[in-house]
Copies of this chain bind each other. A is one copy, B any other.
Amino acid sequence: MKVSSLGEFNLIEKIKKVIENGKKHRNYNKRRLILGVGDDAAVVAKDSRKAFLATTDMLIEGVHFSKKTASLRQIGWKALACNLSDIAAMGGIPLYALVSIGFPQDTAVKEIEELYRGIESLAGKYRVKIIGGDTVSSPCFFVISITVLGEIEKKELVTRSGAKLGDKILLTGTIGDAGAGLRLLKNPKHLKFFNRYEKYLINRFLLPEPRIKEARIIARTKCATAMIDCSDGLDLSIKFISRQSKVGAKIYTDSIPLSGGLKKTSSAFKKNPLEFALFGGEDYELVFTASPEKTKKIKKQISGVTVIGEIVSKKEGIKFLDKKGKVLKLKAKGYEHFTDNPEF
């Protein structure tokens, strides 16, 4: 069977089996391993109080970015941003980055410097230090692989698996913008006016801001029962939290916060903006769950947090409801690598 017909998430299940069935696999280093494969970042105990976080993301030219639509500085920023977002999704503080890049031999030195300037500008903003990496030759395209190490107090850790019946589902910022920004970049004829809205959406795609600040408030106040980032679209984020917390979810689609730019651009593309919100991906917002009491508290502490739904029992499944409470039939397909799904 080809990977393309299996899909990324089934492939990961197969990989997990290989890892777990390793002949020599015993429970080595397990005592200190708090969380392995299957959350936004791995968690390893540091001491009785603190834990280390580790996450990694690989970006490949032609799949995750194009030098035609993004500068190398922007590409560098984004390559680090998706890793910082994974640390944020655990509630953690990012500390160190290891940066590996592969690129063709005829690349100009200036391009590499620009890439690192992009990484460094975001790293500096969140006080992340680049402590290592690798530079290698690539036959024809750029590859960037970044690993970020972070830290968290164990009692502040938020995973995907703690959502409880009756919890509210909350979202930082607006969603769907990055997907619409990508659509604009891929259809430059729509860009002839390049207005404020279009610039906003494209920036949301090219220069995402990891929600480190918000994540730290959520973690410190211990208000969240589960958390994940929205890198693969809201639909998949909800699915992951539901699956790993063994619950269901009701999403009030009318409450999903959509930017003015997204609404205008969706109508230009004759699309329902919800499609961008649910399946567009790459927004790097945080989705988290909290009890109704804690929800009130956190809304006072972080501006721009919206309640978009509620945790229900597992047997109720995941439902997207319109403002009348009717179940919406949206093509529930997230952005997965390896499936022929460029346009969702």
Contacts and interface: CB of A to CB of B under 8 A. Distances in A.
A197 interface: no
A88 interface: no
A286 to B, nearest CB: 19
Interface of A: 1-4, 6, 8, 11-12, 14-15, 18-19, 22-26, 28-30, 32-33, 36-37, 41-42, 44, 46-47, 52, 54-64, 95-96, 98, 100-103, 105-110, 112-113, 116-117, 120-121, 123-125, 127-141, 143, 145, 147, 149, 337-338, 340
Contact of A132 (B24, B41, B62): B41
Contact of A145 (B15, B18, B58): B58
Contacts of A120: 18-19, 22, 25
A33 B112 contact: no
Contact of A18 (B36, B106, B116): B116
A124 B24 contact: yes
Nearest to A340: B105
B22 A131 contact: no
A103 to B, nearest CB: 7
Contact of A138 (B63, B98, B100): B63
11 contacts: A2-B106, A3-B106, A11-B112, A42-B98, A42-B131, A44-B149, A55-B132, A58-B102, A58-B143, A135-B338, A147-B147
Contact of A135 (B12, B25, B59, B129): B12
Most chain B Cβ neighbours within 10 Å, of A56, A63, A110, A337: A56
B23 A132 contact: no
B132 A4 contact: no
A14 to B, nearest CB: 6
Given A29-B128, A37-B133, A60-B143, 14 more contacts: A1-B109, A2-B107, A3-B103, A11-B135, A14-B113, A18-B116, A18-B117, A24-B125, A25-B120, A44-B149, A56-B147, A57-B134, A58-B134, A58-B143
A86 to B, nearest CB: 9
Chain copies in complex: 2
B24 A121 contact: yes
Given A24-B124, A125-B24, A145-B100, A42 B109 contact: no
Contacts of A24: 121, 124-125
B131 A4 contact: no
Contacts of A124: 22-25
Given A3-B108, A22-B123, A96-B44, A143 B143 contact: yes
A99 to B, nearest CB: 8
A6 B62 CA distance: 26
A136 B37 CA distance: 16
B135 A337 contact: yes
A129 B28 contact: yes
Contacts of A140: 140
A11 to B, nearest CB: 6
A79 B305 CA distance: 43
Contacts of A98: 42, 54-56, 147
Contacts of A4: 105-106
Given A8-B135, A56-B145, A145-B100, A113 B15 contact: yes
A136 B41 contact: no
